[in-house]
A and B are shown apart, each in its own frame.
Chain A
């Protein structure tokens, strides 16, 4: 019977903790496999770029990190919205668990971008619209994490961080377009960030595989972090005591 399915069975930390523990190694394994395949294609199969030479190969991690940094912010805001709407504890824990991974990817994207920019454009950093908005995205992540960390009461910290994440998500398009217009108004740097639209098929495959690998890695990391948060928050409950006792 459809109505007999308990949709909220895994919304409680007690049932989700073991489920997350079972899923985590799978996601880590798939991430490792996809990353190995993606790196193999990236380093050995994909042809050398006609204009940029070998240095373009940073694309395989750079693009994946950029995509994930934006995607994770949306997922985090989504969990935050679910948490505020349904008042589920686990949603806030997921939002909290996602933030550091998202910030890491935003930083990685900026760092690899700088490493790529120096040999191709001759500058570590240009005030291009995409770079600037990625930097602001990193600031948004840091703001959410700082707010969550500054509030001692975990419940209040969760809700305040969730509200900030949602406000940030509303603002992301505004920030993005304002930065684009700012850039065109100022005529920007003379270099163009837009790549040639045509791309060898193997390059695209490598990029896709690496993006999937990063995605799976994010899920695994999020589950691992959520497990720690669950144990910490629920340490007064019976099932955690049982778990801790059983492990001894």
Chain B
């Protein structure tokens, strides 16, 4: 447990020391979200209907953009091998790194999302639901993304490759996450969507670190 907390602390510290990386992810999110109205037109009703989907896709892409940083630096300077050799299970170490990634790259997106949602003219209730769905869904993005990041470790063209590997796996998260606001608006109730995201989160909280650990072992061989 000590190692778990130590790795989270170390990764967060490293992330805070490189503020420009964090800012880049955030600005990417803002810019993608701001480009859509420019392309589609300023009609308020139309923007309101596409807002949840656009913000979810933007958050998904932004979190994907930060994925290569998850293991890359540790892999290059050899500390990943030391971590793999340590007595702590590699899956636990991976989980700590994933958690740190979520805290440093995804939580800012969740915090920023309401602001962008107001730009799109969403109702306060819809903004809340969007935030809850993002708060539940972005850890899932980090967990699944870690597998992709570990598989493409040290591979040329890693960034684009990660996107190609992860798009299909992200589909359910995107559907239920972005669908939550629509489900509430159409009177279906938001419970089903959030429960499904929660169920997927619970399952991948257990499975994804194991998958990440075996992918890391393959990369380190």
- Residues on A close to B: CB < 8 A? 136-137, 139-140, 142-143, 146-147, 150-151, 155-156, 159-160, 163-164, 167-168, 170-171, 174-175, 178-179, 181-182, 185-186
Whether the Cβ atoms of B168 and A168 lie closer than 8 Å is yes
Chain A residue contacts of B164, Cβ below 8 A? 139, 142-143, 146
Partner of A160, one of B157, B183, B186, B218: B218
Whether the Cβ atoms of B183 and A185 lie closer than 8 Å is yes
**Shortest beta-carbon contacts, A-B, top 4:** A178-B172, A143-B165, A182-B175, A159-B218
Known contacts A163-B214, A174-B172, A185-B183; A150 and B152 CB within 8 A of each other? yes
Whether the Cβ atoms of A178 and B176 lie closer than 8 Å is yes
6 new A-B contacts at CB < 8 Å, known A143-B164, A150-B161: A136-B171, A163-B214, A168-B169, A178-B172, A178-B175, A185-B188
Chain A residue contacts of B169, Cβ below 8 A? 167-168, 171
Report the bound CA distance from A174 to B207 in whole Å.
14
Q: List B174-221 residues whose CB lies under 8 Å from chain A.
A: 175-176, 179, 182-183, 186, 188, 196, 200, 207, 211, 214-215, 218-219, 221
Partner of B175, one of A147, A164, A181: A181
Known contacts A136-B168, A163-B215; A151 and B155 CB within 8 A of each other? yes
Chain B residue contacts of A185, Cβ below 8 A? 179, 182-183, 186, 188
Known contacts A136-B171, A147-B152, A178-B172; A164 and B179 CB within 8 A of each other? no
Chain A residue contacts of B221, Cβ below 8 A? 155-156, 159
Chain B residue contacts of A182, Cβ below 8 A? 175, 179
Residue in B161, B200, B218 whose Cβ sees the most chain A Cβ within 10 Å: B218
- Supply 18 A–B pairs (Cβ within 8 Å), ascending by A: A143-B165, A147-B161, A147-B165, A150-B155, A150-B157, A151-B155, A156-B219, A160-B215, A163-B151, A167-B147, A168-B168, A171-B172, A174-B200, A175-B171, A178-B172, A178-B175, A179-B175, A185-B188
Whether the Cβ atoms of B152 and A175 lie closer than 8 Å is no
- A137 closest partner in B (C-beta): B168
Chain A residue contacts of B183, Cβ below 8 A? 185
Q: How far is the CB of B68 from chain A (nearest CB, A)?
A: 13
Check B167 for interface membership: any CB of A closer than 8 A: yes
Whether the Cβ atoms of B168 and A163 lie closer than 8 Å is no
Interface string of B23-52 (1 = CB under 8 A from A): 000000000000000000000000000000
Report the bound CA distance from A170 to B144 in whole Å.
13
Q: How far is the CB of A164 from chain B (nearest CB, A)?
A: 6
Whether the Cβ atoms of A175 and B168 lie closer than 8 Å is yes
Q: How far is the CB of A127 from chain B (nearest CB, A)?
A: 12
Q: How far is the CB of B104 from chain A (nearest CB, A)?
A: 25
Check B17 for interface membership: any CB of A closer than 8 A: no
Check B156 for interface membership: any CB of A closer than 8 A: yes
- B163 closest partner in A (C-beta): A143
Q: List B126-170 residues whose CB lies under 8 Å from chain A.
A: 147, 151-152, 155-157, 161, 164-165, 167-169
Chain A residue contacts of B219, Cβ below 8 A? 156, 160
